[in-house]
Amino acid sequence: MNWKELIRSEVESTYAATDKLMNLVDADRLDWKPSTGRNWMTVGQVLKHMTEACGSSMKGFVTGDWGMPEGMDPGQLPPEEMLPPAEKFPTIESAARARELLASDKKIALDMLARCSENDLADKTASAPWDSRKIALGYRLLQMVDHLKYHKAQLFYYLKLQGKPVNTGDLWGM
């Protein structure tokens, strides 16, 4: 298996489809969230989270820099800070800004991938602040692409629930 090509391909297709979906968000719908159930992020919160869902975490796995203040161990955060309730997530001021930040996050993802050799991806292991298991670095990076994919699907369904004419092709970036 060629880890680099697999991950690069997944990054390219996932970010492209995510950007297209972000472009469909109406400026006046950033505060929208599903009306039933609880612990839903707003559209603005989902957009903001998506801009940090992949590349930033890939940087953590590749460099050990999780973006925490010096001396703070992200593995020592209490569960409510590691995965806070939806209302604690930050939001974003516009879909246009989210698209800019998404492009920056994609660049980080590709830069981090470029720093890894095929052997690094296959043979090095990495743990996460939220999961202490040692797992192949290549698989960890793919998990971060999946993280973005899950929130891309969340945005897709938010748009559907808002009555936007999206279909399966939009979800897959077709």
Residues 101, 55 contacting (CB under 8 angstroms):
no
Coil, helix or strand at residue 126: strand
83 pLDDT exceeds 70? no
172 belongs to a structural domain: no
> Mind listing the pLDDT tens digit for each residue in 101-113?
999 999 999 999 9
> Mind listing the pLDDT tens digit for each residue in 103-158?
999 999 999 999 999 999 999 999 988 888 999 999 999 999 999 999 999 999 99
CATH of the domain at 132: 1.20.120.450
CA distance 142 to 51: 16
CA distance 134 to 128: 8
**Predicted pLDDT of residue 81:** 58
Kindly indicate the confidence band of residue 77, based on its pLDDT and cuts at 50, 70 and 90.
low
**Domain span at residue 39?**
3-67+84-167
As for how many domains the chain has, the answer is 1
Residue-wise DSSP of 52-69? TSSHHHHHHHHHS--SPP
> Mind listing the pLDDT tens digit for each residue in 27-72?
999 999 999 888 999 999 999 999 999 999 999 999 988 776 666 6
Q: What is the rounded average pLDDT of the residues 7-30?
A: 97
**Nearest in space to 2 (alpha carbons), one of 108, 110, 122:** 122
76 belongs to a structural domain: no
Dihedral of the alpha carbons of 146, 152, 156, 161, in degrees to the nearest 10? 100
**Predicted pLDDT of residue 52:** 94
**Predicted pLDDT of residue 78:** 60
Kindly indicate the confidence band of residue 87, based on its pLDDT and cuts at 50, 70 and 90.
confident
